[in-house]
Amino acid sequence: MKKLLILALLAIQGIAGAIAAEVSIMPQPVKFEIQEGAFAIDATTPIVIEGKELQTTAKVFAADMAEFFGSKAMKVCRKGNDAISLSTDATLAAEGYTMQVNAEGVKIVGGSAAGVFYGLQSLRQLIIQTNGEVPYCKIEDEPTFVYRGVHLDVCRHFFTVEEVKEYIDIIAAHKINRFHFHLTDDQGWRIEIKRYPELTKVGSVRTETLIGHGGTSNEYDGTPYGGYYTQKQLRDIVKYAAERHIVVIPEIEMPGHARGALAALPWLGCTDDYIPVWTRWGVTQEIMCAGKETTYEFLENVLAEVIEIFPSEYIHIGGDEAPRNRWKECPHCQERMKAEGLLSEAELQSYLVARIEKYLHAHGRKMIGWDEILEGGVTPTATIMSWQGARGGINAAKKGNYVVMTPNSHLYFDFYQTETKEGEPLAIGGYLPVEKVYQYNPYRKLNDDEKKYILGVQCNLWTEYIGEFDHLTSMLLPRLAALSDVQWAENRRNEQTLRPRMEQMRKLYDAYGWNYAKFYYEGRK
C-alpha cells in the first residue's frame, strides 16, 4: 500500500514537474510552487475585487486579457465564484503579492494595489503559457529594488502618444515602476511650455537629419523633422502610466543637450547668437549660459510647469555631456564665478545644479541627474544616475548619495545585440547581448552599508538610430526580460532558468504583437 502511495506521489510529482518545466514567470518570484490540477480561465471568468481602490488595476488587467482572448473584457465585480479574487494586506511588502490557484479559483493578495497589479502580470504570463489552464500553484513574491526603470529618448526621434502608451504597456508587463521620459535635447524640444511657446514652435523642429552614422557621415536627408507633446497629452500619458503603477520621471536637460531651447530662445546661450536645432548626433559645444540670471529664471519657469504636469517625486535635470568651453570665454559666466567664489567651470555647473535642486526642494521634489553632476562637487541630497559605467554610482554611494545604476557597459539598449552585427540595423555602437545584461551586478564594489544607496537599476534607450516603433521594441525586447530579473529578483537570479523563461516570454510578446529581436532565440550572440 505504502509503495503504491509512493508511486502515486511520484506520478503526481512527475506531472507537476513536467508542468513546472513548462510554465514560468519572469521576473523570478521568491517562491513558486506548482501543484497538481489546473483552474480554467477564460473571458467569462469574473474578477472579484475587495475594495474600490482595486477597480482600475482590475480593469487594466481585464482589458489586457480581452486583447489576448479577442473577447469582451472580463467582468469586474464585488462577489462571485470560480473567480480571480483581488485584495490587499498592508502587512505584505508594498509591491509584493501572494497568489494561490486552486479549485476555487485564483486569489491574489497584494501589499498594495501595485502588488496586486504585479500578481496579475504573473497570472497573465501563466494564462498565455497554458492557454488558460493555469496550474494550481502558490506564489510569494516581492521586488529587490524600489526603482525599476526604463528610459526613452523622444528627442532624437519622436514617438506618438499611442506609441508611448504601448511602450508603457510593454514595460508594465515586466514589473517596471519608473518611466524616464527624456523630453528635451539638441535635436528637439518635445514638451509644451505655455510661458515659452517658441520652445515647441521653433525648438521642436530640425531642418533635416543626418543619414548614416554620426561618427562618419556628412550626408543629410533634407527633410524637416519635428514633434512634441501638449501638456494635455503629457497628463494623459502620466495617468495611463499611473494606472499601470508606473511613475513618469520627466527629464529637462541643462545646461547641455539644450539646442532645442537655444534655437528657440537664443538669449539662453552665452553669446545670444542664433543656433539652429541640431541635425547631427553627438556632443555640441553650444550650451546654456550659467552666468546670466535670465537662464535661472527660464529654468525655474519651465520647471514650474513641468512640476504641474508630472507628480513624480523625482525630476531629472540631465547635466551630462556639457562642454564648458563657452563658459571660459563668457563675461557673464566668469563674472558669476567671481561673485560666487567658484574656482572652475565645473564648480559653476555645480552651482547651477545646486540652485535648481533648491528650487525643486522648495516645491517638494527631489533632483536626479547624470553622473557628470558629481564633477564640480554635489550636494548630499542629489540622486545620481550613473551612466558612464558604474564608477560614478559607486563613488556616489560611498559618499552617501542615492544612486540609480544605468551603466552603458550593461544597460544601454541602443547598443548592438550581436558581435558580428549581421542582420542588425545601424546602431550607435557597443555590443550588449542578453547574456551580458543578465550578468550585470548593481552591487559591485559596494559593502552592505553602501548597497543601501542603490535605489535601483534602469536601461536607457537613446534613439539617434531608431525612428520606427517596431525597431524601438526590438531593441528593448527581449533584453528587458533579462533586465527585469536584475531589477526585481537580483538575489535569486539563476542563469539555469533564464533560457526557458525567456522562451516563455516570447509567447507574451507574440500575443500582443510586440516586435522583439530574435538573435537570442536563434542562439546568436
DSSP for 217-267?
Answer: --EE----EE--B-HHHHHHHHHHHHHTT-EEEEE---SSS-HHHHHH-GG
Going from the C-alpha of 40 to that of each of 58, 103, 180, the distances in angstroms are 18, 9, 38
Does position 281 interact with ligand ACM (CB under 6 A)? The reply is no
Stretch touching Zn ion by CB under 5 A, among 20-28, 63-71, 105-113, 290-298? 290-298
Residue 468 contact among Zn ion, ligand ACM, none, beta carbon within 5 to 8 Å by kind = none
Q: Which of 270/446 has CB closer to Zn ion?
A: 270
Alpha carbon 495 to chain centroid distance?
A: 23
Q: What does the block give as the cell for 60? A: 487594466
Going from the C-alpha of 87 to that of each of 58, 90, 103, 240, the distances in angstroms are 11, 10, 18, 22
Q: Which of 133/321 has CB closer to ligand ACM?
A: 321
- Counting residues that bind ligand ACM (by CB under 6 A) gives 4
Stretch touching Zn ion by CB under 5 A, among 50-58, 154-162, 322-330, 456-464? 322-330
CA 17/CA 332 separation, integer angstroms: 71
Three-state secondary structure call for residue 179: strand
Residues annotated as catalytic (active site), given as ranges: 185, 257, 321
Q: What does the block give as the cell for 4? A: 503504491
- Span 359-398, contacts to ligand ACM by CB under 6 A: 370, 387
Does position 465 interact with ligand ACM (CB under 6 A)? The reply is no
Of the CA atoms within 13 Å of residue 143, those in its CB half-sphere come to: 29
> Least distance in Å: CB of 318 to ligand ACM?
8
Does position 450 interact with ligand ACM (CB under 6 A)? The reply is no
Of the candidates 138, 165, 332, 399, which one interacts with Zn ion according to CB under 5 A?
Answer: 332
Residue 370 contact among ligand ACM, Zn ion, none, beta carbon within 5 to 8 Å by kind = ligand ACM
Q: Which of 300/320 has CB closer to ligand ACM?
A: 320
> Least distance in Å: CB of 153 to ligand ACM?
9
> Least distance in Å: CB of 408 to ligand ACM?
7
Of the candidates 89, 163, 305, 321, which one interacts with ligand ACM according to CB under 6 A?
Answer: 321
> Least distance in Å: CB of 66 to ligand ACM?
39
> Least distance in Å: CB of 321 to ligand ACM?
5
- Residue 98 has what DSSP assignment? E
CA 505/CA 65 separation, integer angstroms: 16
Three-state secondary structure call for residue 85: strand
Lay out the site mask for ligand ACM across 10-49 (x = CB under 6 A, - = otherwise): ----------------------------------------
> Least distance in Å: CB of 460 to ligand ACM?
6
Residue 320 contact among ligand ACM, Zn ion, none, beta carbon within 5 to 8 Å by kind = ligand ACM
Which of 263, 317, 326 shows the shortest CA–CA distance to 292? 326
Of the candidates 243, 320, 347, 503, which one interacts with ligand ACM according to CB under 6 A?
Answer: 320
Which of 39, 84, 80, 78 shows the shortest CA–CA distance to 61? 84
Start-to-end CA span in the chain (Å): 53
Of the CA atoms within 13 Å of residue 62, those in its CB half-sphere come to: 22
Residue whose CB is nearest to ligand ACM in the complex, by number = 320
- Residue 420 has what DSSP assignment? S
Considering Cα of 492, then 493, then 495, then 498, what sign does the dihedral take? positive
Residue 332 contact among ligand ACM, Zn ion, none, beta carbon within 5 to 8 Å by kind = Zn ion
Of the candidates 150, 270, 354, 356, which one interacts with Zn ion according to CB under 5 A?
Answer: 270
Q: Which of 163/320 has CB closer to ligand ACM?
A: 320
What residues make contact with ligand ACM under the rule CB under 6 A? 320-321, 370, 387
